[in-house]
Amino acid sequence: MTHLIELGYAGFEVSDPAAFETFLDREVGLVPGDDPHTWRTDQKVRRIAVHEGERNDAAYIGFEAVDADAFARTVERLRAAGADVTDGTPGDAKARGAADLAWCTAPWGTRVELVHGLADADTPFASPLVPGGFRTAGMGFGHVVFGVSDLAASHEFATSGLGMEQSDWLEMDMGGFPFEVRFYHCNARHHTLALAAVPFDLPTKLHHFMLEANTVDDVGAAFDRVFAGTQPIASGLGKHPNDEMFSFYAVTPAGFQVEFGTNGRTITEPWTDNRVYDRISTWGHQPIARPV
């Protein structure tokens, strides 16, 4: 598929910003941006912004179009698909470190922004805790997974609106209930967005965001840092069958999770592997209890 957009940034509304940002800093290993409450994972001026509030959820996610033409085409596509797209002001774009911004609300309730010209920081990215850095070039800064009560409308928004293509999907029984997740790509990253069908609107839409490190050692070191801390480890080290990501999941102080992984599969063209999977993990991803 044509690479028009990638995940540019996310804004998280959290009730305890100090705890959340300490976690990003000391356990995940991100680097503070120039503006307060912003965090970097690469050369971009910011990838994560933290806002104080009661939602403990993604306040917004931002897709970065590769250029002004891709920006215009994506806005047009969203409008043609029925999304109510608002043109941002120059101030809105500047607040995100971008040249231009438009936004709409996804069917599951999250504000979805589209920008182009996301600025680079003045200084090179270097994280002492993640020396190998994160894999973002041509792929965006990671992926996000939301629980949605209207999977059909959300699927339409992702595909017809944002122009993503379905990579594959998961159907399994979870404690006697059918569970379905669909995975979508918009560039070489196996999935930039995944949507999990939930039977009713959950208070928190974001299940997790994913950061992909360049090395296995950086994933292992991150696991050790989180293990030494106090946040729950929802899923220990393991591997997914569809995106082949080797990763673990920690519960952030905001309640939603962060997946820290490496070695994710990339999309090859033509993509002929849009098929169903019947399990989340090939192995691992077990809940981890610490010794008392």
Residue 14 CB, shortest distance to Fe ion, in Å, is 20
| Contact set for Fe ion, span 216-245 (CB under 5 A) | none
- Distance of closest approach, residue 144 Cβ to Fe ion, in angstroms: 9
Closest separation in Å from C-beta 210 to Fe ion: 4
Within residues 51-90, the interface with Fe ion by CB under 5 A covers none
Q: Report the alpha-carbon distance of residue 223 to residue 236 in Å, rounded.
A: 8
Using CB under 5 A, which residues numbered 199 to 218 contact Fe ion?
210
Nearer of residues 218 and 259 to Fe ion, judged by Cβ = 259
Closer CB to Fe ion, residue 101 or residue 196? Answer: 196
Between the alpha carbon of residue 163 and those of residues 3, 80, 96, 258, the distances in Å are 10, 11, 23, 25
- Round to the nearest angstrom and report the end-to-end CA distance of the chain: 50
Q: Which region among 24-32, 93-101, 126-134, 251-259 touches Fe ion (by CB under 5 A)? A: 251-259
59 closest CA partner among 116, 6, 20, 19: 20
Identify which of 188, 99, 184, 189 has the alpha carbon closest to the alpha carbon of residue 148: 184
- Minimum CB distance to Fe ion smaller for 104 or for 196: 196
Q: Considering beta carbons, is residue 38 or 242 the nearer one to Fe ion?
A: 242
Q: CB-based contacts of 110: which residues, under 8 Å, 6+ apart?
A: 57, 58, 60, 61, 146, 205, 206
Q: What span, in angstroms and rounded, lies between the C-alpha atoms of 248 and 12?
A: 20
Closest CA to 29 of 243, 250, 205, 266: 250
Nearest-approach distance from CB 33 to Fe ion, in angstroms: 24
**What CA–CA distance (Å, rounded) separates 175 from 192?**
27
User: C-beta of 273: minimal distance to Fe ion in Å?
Assistant: 17
Task: Name the residue nearer to Fe ion (CB basis): 6 or 259.
Answer: 259
**DSSP characters over 123-151:** S----SSSTT-B--TTTBS-EEEEEES-H
**Contacting Fe ion within 252-271 (CB under 5 A):** 259
**The token pair that represents 44 in the structure block:** 């971009």
Nearest to 224 by CA among 288, 282, 284, 136: 288
Nearer Cβ to Fe ion (45/210):
210
Complex with Fe ion: residue 31 or 170, whichever CB lies closer: 170
As measured in angstroms, the least distance from the Cβ of 247 to Fe ion is: 7
What is the closest distance, in whole angstroms, from the C-beta atom of residue 35 to Fe ion in the complex? 27
Number of residues counted as binding Fe ion (CB under 5 A): 2
Of residues 169 through 198, those in contact with Fe ion by CB under 5 A are: none
Name the site residues for Fe ion (rule: CB under 5 A).
210, 259
